[in-house]
């Protein structure tokens, strides 16, 4: 047995690797489309899968700032790869959604809202930091004054199979953000993959009634003390070798005080404002709306699409962009992630997944930027106080 983060005692069971296909088959029999990690375009992305062989069996990845490389290892581990460029928001909050269609009729237009009927999805291999990212987007889309109906409808139809990380990425810093590497809540089933010289199995924790029902349909047995210890040591080993760290103590105050720090000029000199960091980030949620018409003007459509605070258009109002410089856009992004998000939603907007570090084409590293801000704050305590002083004098 084990205790979850909420103190609830959970019983652990074991599923052998040889029964993993049966596990996937049971989910399909229950009407779920399986979405999981698979190798595509030399990366691991989240796509529809049908069998164990679609998983990145035996692959590992090497990640560093601005660098991602897949390689084939010598062990047939199913979940040996870390995070790729895709996150689950691809399915819960799609990059492009049609909101309505209008057709010209006699005397006007007939406008029809798009009825989204989501599939039941089983998300296979959701990591602990990603569970926190989903929880963060739940707050944005379903917990506030307004609910996003498309997000909510899909969210209600997912079955989540979490996987505790057994290998750490060099750009990960989930331990700093208290989001991993062990899944604590928000899943239906959580797996820890254990690969030994003569055995390959999963220690399974149940997080919901739906999870218990699926587990009861596949061969399993109660975990022994040795099996539980083996699973725990996989997670402990991962936590002990975390690739990066970020000191989050007083971070919100630091960023609020750093508005005029010269370090923003330093990062702006490197940032290409490509927006990659926002596209790969599992919590970023900004969108724009585009209207399109056909050439005859008889039909029109409105689409919601992912947008990024790194584009000029994003802050364009009445004749100009509010954030016209790279400096102002990077500052907006990082300050929102690590400071204003806390005021808005009560949590950090960063879960420490490291994707923005890996996929930044020029290798800008949010953990290094925080360190640089701290150093600047210590060496020039008044350097970033412009806004505060103006504010105080106002
Ligand atoms: S920080 Fe990197 S990924 Fe983000 S906009 Fe700048 S160059 Fe692109
Ligand atoms: S800011 Fe970077 S490290 Fe943090 S959640 Fe987003 S992509 Fe991951």
Q: What is the mean pLDDT of each run of 10 residues along the chain (394 residues)?
A: 50 96 98 98 97 98 97 95 97 96 93 92 98 97 92 97 96 98 98 97 98 98 98 98 96 95 96 98 97 94 97 92 96 98 96 98 98 90 48 31
Whether 71 maps to a domain, the answer reads yes
Give residue 99 CA to ligand 2 midpoint distance, Å: 28
> Do 373 and 230 share a structural domain?
no
Give residue 101 CA to ligand 2 midpoint distance, Å: 35
> Do 280 and 217 share a structural domain?
no
> Do 163 and 32 share a structural domain?
yes
Is the minimum distance from the CB of 353 to ligand 2 under 6 angstroms? Answer: yes
- Over residues 28-83, the pLDDT tens digits come to 999 999 999 999 999 999 999 999 999 999 999 999 999 999 999 899 999 999 99
Is the minimum distance from the CB of 350 to ligand 2 under 6 angstroms? Answer: yes
What separation in angstroms does the CA of 50 have from each of 29, 169, 193, 217?
A: 12, 27, 20, 18
What integer pLDDT is reported at residue 378 of this predicted model?
87
Give the nearest ligand 2 atom to 337 CA.
1
> Do 352 and 302 share a structural domain?
yes
> Do 211 and 156 share a structural domain?
yes
The last residue of a domain, from among 240, 271, 291: 240
The last residue of a domain, from among 220, 240, 260: 240
CA dist., res. 111 & res. 122, Å (int):
34
Q: How many domains does one find in the chain?
A: 2
The parent domain of residue 209 ranges over 9-240
Whether 355 maps to a domain, the answer reads yes
> Do 305 and 257 share a structural domain?
yes
> Do 104 and 220 share a structural domain?
yes
> Do 88 and 130 share a structural domain?
yes
CA dist., res. 175 & res. 313, Å (int):
36
pTM: 0.93
Which residues is 86 bridged to in the sheet? none
> Do 207 and 351 share a structural domain?
no
Whether 89 maps to a domain, the answer reads yes
Of 188, 137, 183, 136, which is closest to residue 161 (Cα–Cα)? 188
What integer pLDDT is reported at residue 115 of this predicted model?
84
Give residue 268 CA to ligand 1 midpoint distance, Å: 9
Ligand closest to Cα of 311 equals 1
Whether 245 maps to a domain, the answer reads no
Give residue 275 CA to ligand 1 midpoint distance, Å: 5
Please name the residue whose Cα sits nearest to atom 4 of ligand 2: 350
The last residue of a domain, from among 240, 270, 286: 240
Q: Token pair of 199, please?
A: 């055995």
CA dist., res. 394 & res. 390, Å (int):
6
Helix (H, G, I), strand (E, B) or coil at 358: helix
Please name the residue whose Cα sits nearest to atom 2 of ligand 2: 356
What separation in angstroms does the CA of 375 have from each of 158, 262, 271, 321, 337?
A: 44, 12, 20, 31, 20
Q: Are strands 108-113 and 121-126 parallel, antiparallel or unpaired?
A: unpaired
> Do 298 and 370 share a structural domain?
yes
Please name the residue whose Cα sits nearest to atom 6 of ligand 2: 281
Helix (H, G, I), strand (E, B) or coil at 97: strand
What integer pLDDT is reported at residue 351 of this predicted model?
98
Q: Token pair of 178, please?
A: 């208290």
Whether 3 maps to a domain, the answer reads no
Helix (H, G, I), strand (E, B) or coil at 3: strand
What residue ranges in 250-345 does DSSP mark as E strands?
A: 287-293, 299-306, 316-317, 320-321
Whether 95 maps to a domain, the answer reads yes
> Do 355 and 229 share a structural domain?
no
């Amino acid at each position: 047995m084990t205790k979850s983060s909420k103190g609830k005692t959970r019983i652990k069971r074991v599923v052998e690797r040889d029964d993993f296909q049966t596990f996937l088959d049971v989910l399909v029999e229950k009407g779920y489309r399986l979405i999981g990690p698979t190798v595509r375009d030399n990366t691991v992305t989240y796509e529809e899968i049908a069998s164990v062989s679609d998983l990145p069996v035996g692959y590992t990845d090497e990640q560093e700032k601005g660098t991602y490389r897949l390689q084939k290892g010598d062990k047939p581990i199913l979940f040996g790869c870390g995070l790729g460029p895709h996150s689950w928001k691809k399915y819960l909050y799609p990059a492009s959604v049609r909101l309505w269609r209008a057709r010209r009729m006699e005397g006007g237009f007939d406008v029809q809202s798009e009825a989204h009927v989501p599939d039941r999805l089983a998300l296979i291999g959701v990591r602990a930091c990603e569970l926190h990212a989903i929880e963060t987007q739940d707050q944005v889309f379903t917990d506030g004054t307004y609910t996003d109906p498309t997000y909510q409808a899909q969210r209600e139809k997912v079955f989540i199979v979490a996987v505790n990380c057994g290998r750490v990425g060099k750009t990960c810093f989930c331990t700093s953000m208290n989001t991993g590497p062990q899944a604590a809540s928000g899943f239906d089933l959580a797996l820890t993959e254990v690969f030994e010289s003569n055995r390959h199995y999963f220690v399974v924790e149940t997080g919901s009634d739906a999870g218990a029902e699926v587990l009861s349909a596949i061969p399993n047995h109660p975990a022994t003390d040795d099996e539980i210890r083996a699973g725990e040591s996989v997670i402990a080993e991962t936590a002990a070798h975390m690739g990066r760290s970020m000191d989050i103590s007083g971070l919100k105050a630091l960023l609020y005080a750093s508005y005029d720090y010269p370090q923003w000029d330093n990062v702006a000199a490197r940032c290409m404002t490509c927006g990659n960091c926002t596209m790969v980030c599992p919590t970023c949620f900004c969108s724009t709306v585009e209207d399109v018409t056909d050439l005859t003007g008889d039909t029109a459509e409105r689409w919601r699409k992912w947008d990024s605070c790194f584009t000029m258009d994003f802050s364009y109002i009445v004749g100009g962009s509010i954030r016209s410089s790279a400096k102002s856009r990077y500052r907006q992004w990082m300050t929102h992630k690590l400071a204003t998000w806390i005021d808005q939603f009560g949590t950090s907007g960063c879960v420490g997944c490291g994707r923005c570090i890996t996929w930044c084409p020029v290798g800008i590293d949010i953990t290094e930027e925080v360190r640089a801000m701290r150093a600047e704050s210590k060496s020039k305590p008044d350097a970033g106080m412009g806004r505060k002083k103006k504010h105080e004098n106002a």
